[in-house]
Amino acid sequence: MRMKLKNYFLFFCLFTICHISYSSGKKALLIGIDHYYDSEKERYAEWQDLDGAVNDATVMYNLLKSKYGFSTKDMTLLVSPKSTTKKSIVKAFNQLIKSASKGDQVCIYYAGHGAQIKNSKFYELDKKHEAIVPSDVLRTNNFLLDVEINELLNRLLDKEAELTVIFDNCFSGSGTRGAIDLNSLQSRYVPISDIDIDQTYKKQKSAAERGALVVSAAQDYQLAKEYKDNRGQSHGVFTYALMKAMQMSSVNESAEDIFKRVNSIILYNAVPRQDPVIEGQEERMKQPLFGGVADPSIGVQVGIVDAENKYKITLDGGSAVGIVPGTQLTHVKKEVVVEVTALFGVNGCYGKVIQGDKALEEGDLVKVTKWAPYNKNRLKVYFGEMGISDIEINALKELERLLADKGVLEYAPYEENVGFIIKKEDDKWKGFYSPSESISFGHSIPSFEKLEKVISKLETPNNKIFIEVPPSTAVYQELNGSLSGQPKIQAVKAEEKFDYCLIGRFNDKNELEYSWVRFGAQKEEKHNPLPSYTDWVAPHRTFTLSNYAERLGELKGWLTMEVPPNNANFPFKFALKKHSTGALVKNGALVEGEEYGLALYKDNNLYDSWNMEDRYLYIFLLTSDGSMKLLFPATNSSVENNTEQIMKDPSGDYKDEILIGYPDLLSVSPPFTTDNILMLSTVTAITETSIFNQDGVRERGSGDLSLNELIDEEEERSSKQSNWFLERHTFFGTNTQ
């Protein structure tokens, strides 16, 4: 089945880091608003002045200047009430746009109040605009809406600037180092309950759709907070954590790794109800915060959350990235090694220091330097015992040429017309008419003359011969090295049961290439969710074969992982909603030509016993070509995906059913295969949502979608209730109702 994803951006997000091209000049616009005109008047008591926004903008200004090479003549700092009215902010934007050139690194930073404003005619699901609050809003009632900001961002992108936009206002925020007094936290949020813009806006192409990286200090419905540090200075919680992460990191460190630092600092301080968000294309997240090319980062890095006890280090990473007990992680500069002792939740772990004397601290990044392999869910692969020589390779090449000239050579073992397969087993060459009927050719490759007798016995339609070419010595050695110790892959011997076998061939151009072929692919199960085979790969691209094996391991992990019981009675479930009839399809056939949207519905039997603990939802697609794609939330984000936000109606009651995004998001067309859609629900937000995306292992026409793995070994909670659950839904295409 080819499942097509319509090119919709499900949820517009305002706060953006964007990348277009290699940079030259550096420009910045920084805005901090503490004082709002007329806020001291009694009728505006809910509009509190802030204490830390000006501090934050000033700190970021100095950090850009001192560490990142921005010049004061190319930076504008707006912090006075007069310079932060809506008119003044828009004017500064326009001046920046006018001065920007192709390749410029442009940074825009905002700290101040934020708001959500109702618009019953708005195209977004929640019918609300995100907005920043200018200093004169109480006099003019004019907010700077997300659609207005997005237009300004797109004008900068039209100039082909590398644009970084960071907003630390409401619906953005994070935590900091040193114990934060949670009682002193102040929200950068202004409640707006009696305004309905009631205006239609044409849907824009967002900056994120143009290759943006999106960073927000909090989920869209959360409050970004500020607090006083141990010196009595006020800061936004997110900005303070970001500032610390930027100070700790290289200017070339990737945005992805800086975000890991920020998130681990926030987790350390346990700031309530504030989860920072990063979204965007994987390529951009691997570049530096302000664009360009990042230092290469080999392997997996995770952040330290708590390092006060060297025998119980808390890390912000776990089974989601392949970490299990026994995995070792190293802080290279400090020469400290941490060994994982236990996992908790879906993406956290504990460890202990086993080497090194220097102290770790929250925000440090440690790199996986030794994997501890998974047990039962690993993908089992077989790729021979030791490889064959170049002499044997050349002999097989000549034999295949002769069979091709004869018209009896087949180029794939899974084709139905294959009646005889030649392969090497136990150091001997054998020929198989079927698994139970074979002949032996001894230790030598069979001659063409011997095979002529076989050819004479083959009858149409099974009259073709396939030769399984074992890996060369070089290919075998490279695979043996790259796959050894992988957390999701286990190399096995021929007599053991395996999922995939490495098979070589000479193609119709008589060129050697290899593919992973699934066991039993000749007898294709009608609805097997794993790919029958991968693309064929030339020997000099063995690294691609390793990568394909890792992707297949990800798929198997999702499809076979053990899921804890839903003893929390989480009541919201996933289905596809047929656009033409509104019917919910929970599994099974999807009809060619029909269109489907993503839907959530409430199971009332579970709802009555639910512990009322809301969860974040992640819906993703696993396709039969081996690819995975996050469908919700959109654009690799964690925005607007909590049940408290998306399932509640205005009165606070939970809805029985909702449609997520567009009703015609998915459609079905031939070839009809089997795809899986999974929904992960978790109490803890997964900030690194790139783990839900992966390229496929073979060409599949125009169908392309993706995901990753979370094998759980979570620590028991005192409540005895699991804090996550995974639903699996299998769908296949058909051309009949």
d(CA 575, CA 585): 6
What is the model's pLDDT at position 584?
A: 94
From residue 25, alpha-carbon distances to 103, 161, 218, 284, 643 in Å are: 7, 9, 30, 19, 43
Beta-strand pair 595-602/588-591: unpaired
Residue 288 has pLDDT above 90, yes or no: no
Q: 650: which 2 tokens?
A: 């205005």
Using DSSP's 3-state secondary structure scheme, residue 277 falls into strand
Q: Which of 148-162, 363-377, 669-683 has the highest mean pLDDT?
A: 148-162
The answer to whether residues 639 and 617 touch, using CB atoms and an 8 Å cutoff, is: no
Nearest one of 598, 588, 597 to 733, comparing CA atoms = 588
Q: What is the pLDDT of residue 180?
A: 29
Widest CA span in the chain:
101
Nearest alpha carbon to residue 559 among 411, 403, 321, 726: 726
17-285: CATH topology: Rossmann fold (3.40.50)
Asked if pLDDT for residue 18 goes beyond 60, the answer is: no
Q: What pLDDT band is residue 24 in, cutting at 50, 70 and 90?
A: low
Tens-place pLDDT, residues 597-638:
999 999 988 898 899 999 999 999 998 888 999 999 876 554
How do residues 384-421 score in pLDDT, each as one tens digit? 877 788 899 999 999 999 999 999 999 988 888 899 99
* Mean pLDDT value of segment 375-383: 82
Q: Is the pLDDT of residue 226 over 60?
A: no
pLDDT of residue 416: 84
Distance CA 310, CA 328 (A): 14
Place of tokens 């087993």: 425
Q: Is the full-model pTM beyond 0.75? A: no
End-to-end Cα distance, the chain: 15
DSSP summary character for residue 2: E
Q: How far is CA 272 from the centre of its chain?
A: 24
Query: E strands along 243-377, which residues?
Result: 277-280, 301-306, 313-316, 328-331, 336-344, 348-355, 365-370
The model's pLDDT over 458-474, given as tens digits with 9 standing for 90+, comes to: 888 888 999 999 999 99
* Band (299; pLDDT cuts 50, 70, 90): low
Residues with Cβ < 8 Å from 631, sequence gap 6 or more?
5, 598, 619, 620, 621, 665, 677, 705
- Rounded mean pLDDT of 304-309? 92
Report how far residue 424's alpha carbon sits from residue 612's, in angstroms, rounded to the nearest whole number.
59
pLDDT for 252 equals: 80
The C-alpha atoms of residue 551 and residue 428 are separated, in whole angstroms, by 32
89-103 pLDDT, tens digit per residue, is 999 999 999 999 998
pLDDT at 617: 94
The stretch 197-224 carries a mean pLDDT of 69
pLDDT higher than threshold 60 for residue 715: no
Q: Residue 13 above 60 pLDDT? A: no
Alpha-carbon span 366 to 364, nearest angstrom: 7
Task: Supply the DSSP string of 114-146, one letter for each residue.
Answer: EEEEE-TT-SSTT-EEEEE--TTHHHH---EEH
For the residues 20-40, what does the mean pLDDT come to? Answer: 78
Residue 423, strand partner residues: 430
Domain with CATH 3.40.50.1460 in the chain: 17-285
245 three-class SS: helix
Q: Which residues of 363-388 are buried (b: 16+ CB within 10 A; e: fewer)?
A: bbbbebeebbbbeebbbbbbbbeebb
Question: Of the segments 54-68, 350-364, 420-434, 450-464, which one has the largest average pLDDT value?
Answer: 350-364
User: What's the pLDDT band for 719 if we cut at 50, 70, 90?
Assistant: very low
Q: Which CATH number fits domain 301-372: 1.10.3720.10, 1.10.101.10, 3.30.70.1520, 2.40.10.170?
A: 2.40.10.170
Average pLDDT of the chain?
80
pLDDT tens digits along 243-280: 888 877 778 888 888 888 887 777 766 555 566 777 66
For range 28-44, the mean pLDDT:
81
Read off the tokens for 726.
């995974």
Instruction: Decide if 597 contacts 6 (C-beta within 8 A).
Output: no
Q: Which long-range contacts (CB under 8 A, 24 or more apart) does 57-61 make?
A: 57/30, 57/31, 57/32, 57/109, 57/110, 57/111, 58/32, 59/235, 59/239, 59/243, 60/30, 60/109, 60/166, 60/239, 60/243, 61/28, 61/30
d(CA 371, CA 379): 15
Asked if residue 192 has pLDDT above 60, the reply is no
Secondary structure class of 614 (helix, strand, coil): coil
> 500-506 and 512-518: which strand pairing?
antiparallel
Amino acid at the residue 714? E
* Predicted local distance difference test score (pLDDT) of residue 210: 79
Q: pLDDT at residue 182 above 50?
A: no
**Mean pLDDT along residues 572-588:** 92
Does 221 have pLDDT greater than 80? no
Per-residue pLDDT tens digits for 48-96: 788 888 988 988 898 888 778 888 899 999 999 999 999 999 999 999 9
Beta bridge partners of 17: 164, 213
